[in-house]
Structure 1
Amino acid sequence: MYIIIILLLGVLAIFALNFKNILNSKEDQYNTFIKLGNEFLESGQYDMALAEFDRAIEIEDTDIGTYYLKSSIHLKLNDFNNVILNTSKIIEIDNINPLAYYLRAYSYLQNKDFDKAISDFSESINMNLSEDYLPSAYGGRGEAYIGIKNFMKALEDYKKAISMNDKEYLYFKNMGFIYLKVRGYGEAIEYFSKAISLKPESCESINDRAFAYVLLKDYENALGDVLKVIELNESFAAAYKNYAFIQIKIGNIKAAEENIRKAIELDSNNGDFYIILAAIDLINYEYEAFYNNLELAQNIGINFTDYFQDALFDKVRESDRFLNFYRKLFF
């Protein structure tokens, strides 16, 4: 009996030794794959790095660090679907990991999946996300709120982001955009001006400030901004739209038509441009062309409806055809 027990203990000891060697072998393999993956990552050989990290995951599929490494590569490649897959795996392993929620939210935002982005940014914020990421979590959620046209919520989030980081150009630019959307033109100018102070050659913010000036009937400052944009980038299509709008307001219809056609030549996929062209048709009593351009604007997509508040639309404002068009913008 004792001999059998001794023999059995001997067999178990040999098995335990072999099992330990197997474990050590797997751990060594895992470490080798991670080391090679990091070397490929550092040298920019992303496909090779991903292949090594996948081999590591085959050995150990619960180490969230490997999924973070894969996510970092997919972020570099703007492959947001795979960032979502890898961060979802992290969350499956550790569902109180705020950074994973943050990275997944950012990827949902890039994919324009705004509701999921809002949900994940909220999770990351509620889980005490690191202060390094917290301002951009509020900013990202604010951008997602813009995407679903919840401008009040967006304003709240950008104000929080700015209170934590008042050096980020994008926060002020987007605040200016929100105030444009809610017709707070004075506030829009204030925030665009701050954005421009942080990024003086930002054609987008300068041009958007010009639009706010036009809506406030401050054509002198509007013209100054538009000319500055064209000086910075003569191919910036939206500047010519604002230039045309200014020319309409000061009565230079020929110059207005030249500028809006220049805008459309540079970018034919902006519905707002065709609204300005339609306005010129209306001034010239070319009603069929006016409605054709309005329909084209609607089919492409209209960013702002503020143009229609202008008195020049009064001549058609009560007509059935115009009212039918206008209702479609909101219903």
Structure 2
Amino acid sequence: MGDSAPRVTRAAAAGLLLLGAALLSGCQTDAGSDMMKVDRAQGSDQNIASLTSVISANPNDPEGYNVRGSAYGRAGEFRRALADFNRALELNPRFYQAYANRALVERNMGDQASALKDYNAALQINPRYDVAYIGRGNLYRQAGRLDQAFADFNQAIQNETTDPRAYHNRGLIYQARKQHNQAIEDFSTAISLSSTSPEPYNGRGISYLALGDDDNAFSDFNTAINLNGNIAESWANQALVYERRGDKAKAARSYSHALQLDPKYEPARAGLARVKGGA
């Protein structure tokens, strides 16, 4: 964790490493889901019905299919989303946004090869399209191809993207490489671009912990909880700070709450066992 980190017990250090690994794997899922985080308004039956009316009035306009496909994607209706993106691309084979949107659906359906092909097609048409760089970067990161992922996030940032996901995801790679100062800088930029998402606060907090800055880490984990109190990772991260401070009672409560939210969240289970003397 570096020379500046304070001395901690082996159990707590192991807990930090476990939590860091869980953070990276968890945020891969969250950050990688992009458009597919369920948006009840945009994916609602009412909104889809309205978009269908627009398509009926303009059946040869590819934009209508692209927008409705995105709404289907947010609602989790991936096959209908694919059909709409396919139609949009039949009408306009150079519709790079539809390629990137279709790639995201394919990623969510587990068809990574098709997703990569579509991201490449989007970037071939528009080499400055930040959404496609970020999407392809997440695809590479989930496959463990960190150098390629890093290059894509870098390219999006060099293209002056204002999308916080580029900074957040690059921060995760810096963190995986133990370059925590750079990770903190990227997480902070992501927060400045969108302060309502808990993920970069959790990410930054983990890097603060790795540098021995428990106070700033604790503040970030608490902010993550305030933004969304239903994420097990945030409560387990908070618990780890309590554990490092020697407050086992509060640590146990936070670990227990994390397990209530996600009974399979192993860092919380291991942490609870430590503070209760079971490890």
Relative to the length of structure 2, the TM-score reads: 0.70
1:182 aligned partner = 177
Deviation track 1:62-87 (CA, whole Å, cap 9, x = no partner) reads: xxx45553343222222332332344
1:45 aligned partner = 50
Larger radius of gyration: 1
Deviation track 1:235-273 (CA, whole Å, cap 9, x = no partner) reads: 443222112111222222222112101221233243332
Q: Is the 8 A contact 1:114 1:148 kept in 2?
A: no
Q: Is the 8 A contact 2:62 2:88 kept in 1?
A: yes
2:211 aligned partner = 216
RMSD over aligned Cα atoms:
3.1
In 1: Cα distance, 2:51 partner to 2:215 partner: 52
Secondary structure class of the residue paired with 1:204: helix
- Structure 2, unaligned runs of 5 or more: 1-45
Displacement of 1:220 in angstroms is 2.0
Deviation track 1:82-134 (CA, whole Å, cap 9, x = no partner) reads: 332344456568766645433322322343433321221112212x3275xx1
Please say if 1:197 is aligned against 2:202.
no
Deviation track 1:211-231 (CA, whole Å, cap 9, x = no partner) reads: 221122221221222233344
1:252-331 paired onto structure 2 within 5 Å: 252-280=247-275, 284=277, 286=278, 290=279
2:147 aligned partner = 152
Please say if 1:207 is aligned against 2:202.
yes
One of 104, 118, 124 as aligned partner of 2:122 = 124
Distance 1:95 1:52, change over 3 A: closer
Q: Is the 8 A contact 1:90 1:100 kept in 2?
A: yes
Q: Is the 8 A contact 1:115 1:144 kept in 2?
A: no
2:133 aligned partner = 138
- Which segment is superposed worse, 92-101 or 197-206? 92-101
The percentage of counterpart residues that share the same residue type is: 24
Distance 1:122 1:52, change over 3 A: same
Displacement of 1:44 in angstroms is 4.6
Q: Is the 8 A contact 1:238 1:263 kept in 2?
A: yes
Distance 1:201 1:68, change over 3 A: closer
Relative to the length of structure 1, the TM-score reads: 0.60
Distance 1:92 1:187, change over 3 A: same
Distance 1:97 1:239, change over 3 A: closer
Distance 1:220 1:108, change over 3 A: same
- Which segment is superposed worse, 203-212 or 175-184? 175-184
In 1: Cα distance, 2:269 partner to 2:221 partner: 19
One of 165, 170, 173 as aligned partner of 1:170 = 165
Displacement of 1:182 in angstroms is 3.2
Q: Which has the higher contact order (CA 8 A, sep 6+)?
A: 2
Secondary structure class of the residue paired with 1:261: helix
Deviation track 1:264-283 (CA, whole Å, cap 9, x = no partner) reads: 123324333223224335xx
2:24 aligned partner = none
Displacement of 1:141 in angstroms is 0.6
In 2: Cα distance, 1:231 partner to 1:98 partner: 37
Q: Is the 8 A contact 2:258 2:265 kept in 1?
A: no
The residue type paired with residue 157 of structure 1 is D
Q: Is the 8 A contact 1:172 1:192 kept in 2?
A: yes
- Structure 1, unaligned runs of 5 or more: 1-40, 57-64, 291-331
Secondary structure class of the residue paired with 2:256: helix
In 2: Cα distance, 1:125 partner to 1:202 partner: 27
Distance 1:137 1:179, change over 3 A: same
Please say if 1:70 is aligned against 2:65.
yes
Secondary structure class of the residue paired with 2:122: helix
1:303 aligned partner = none
Distance 1:67 1:201, change over 3 A: closer
